[in-house]
Structure 1
Amino acid sequence: TFYQQRFFDTHVRISRDLLRTRNRERRLLDACLETRQPVVIDNTNVLADERARYLGPAKAAGFRVVCYYFRTGTRAAIARNKLREGKAVVPIPGILGTYKKLEEPRMEEGFDVIYAVTLTASNEFSVDLLAGKEPPT
């Protein structure tokens, strides 16, 4: 996955799928922010209000907030979903409903930078700057 390739060795992964409740998710986020531990939020947050629950606390704690926006059309999402098994399979109406609600991330939400991530024909991740400034290397 994108997380495994880019962040596994440096960032804690917070996933509601793994933690199962918002309370557990919030507690782990709070612990990471308090200890200055870099974190990746690995959730589908299609609404700005959903993203705000992470953005506000991270910015208040002085973190730089980077958004990796996975640009995927419904056909590609449905095709990838067919490769899943068991509980990982998302019903097609769920995919379509989520896509309908999507609010694309905006700098005004508090992001320092937004990247667009797409999957290439060879199943590699392509990352392009969408908004903001990349940090100096």
Structure 2
Amino acid sequence: MECVILIGIQASGKSTFYKERYVDTHLRLNMDMLKTRHREKLLLNALLEAKQPFVVDNTNPLPEDRMTYIEAAKRHRFSVVGCYFEPDYAESIRRNAQRTGKSFVREIGIRSVLNKLVRPSIGEGFDELYTVTSAGGTFTLEKTADV
């Protein structure tokens, strides 16, 4: 049983990463789809009770944001993996410009998350933690050591 928490600014590739690596094995917990914290909590509890592997595909910029998922997953004996998307503001702005409709994020929103983004640490409760970078459409993971 595994909980994967994606961490990064909007348009950093988190959802694409989920689709490439986890769509066949893990369900996706995502505020863009669920719209409310109440719905998110209901689905999170169902995933935990069912022992269903899942990916939290939100920005999760602060340790407090991540702690909700980490604590719940640990209580249900899930391993917790963090994937930190190294911020590339210019690339995220470029990717975001290709979005349309509700998936488009105003630049001020991306900048706001970037300004409060805190690099995660193993000490938060992760069993494994990776830094994710992308170049040319390919994701690279590097296991991070706690600093």
**With structure 2 as the length reference, what TM-score do the two structures score?**
0.85
Q: Point out 4+ residue stretches in structure 1 off by more than 3 angstroms.
A: none
Q: Which has the larger radius of gyration?
A: 1
Unmatched segments (≥5 aa) in structure 1: 133-137
Higher relative CO (CA 8 A, sep ≥ 6), structure 1 or 2?
2
C-alpha separation in 2, matches of 1:40 and 1:76: 23
Q: 2:141 aligns with which of 105, 127, 133?
A: 127
Q: Deviations over 1:6-58 (max 9, x none)?
A: 11111110101101111111111111111111010011110110111111000
CA distance in 2 between counterparts of 1:82 and 1:130 reads 31
The structure whose residues are more often strand, as a share, is 2
TM-score by length of 1: 0.91
Alignment: residue pair count: 131
Q: Which moved more, 1:59-68 or 1:79-88?
A: 79-88
For residues 104 and 32 of structure 2, the distance between their equivalents in structure 1, rounded to whole angstroms, comes to 13
Task: Trace 1:40-55 onto structure 2 (pairs within 5 A).
Answer: 40-55=55-70
Cα distance in structure 2, aligned partners of 1:83 and 1:72: 18
Cross-structure match for 1:2: 17
Match of 2:102? Answer: 87
Distance 2:112 2:123 in 1: 25
**Matched position secondary structure for 1:111:** coil
Structure 1 residue 131 displacement after superposition: 2.9
Query: Which of 18, 26, 33 is residue 41 of structure 2 equivalent to?
Result: 26
Aligned CA-pair RMSD = 1.1
AA in 2 matched with 1:105: P
Could you tell me which runs of 5 or more consecutive residues in structure 2 were left unpaired when the two chains were aligned: 1-15
Contact 2:87/2:114 (8 A) holds in 1: no
Task: Give me the identity figure in percent.
Answer: 44
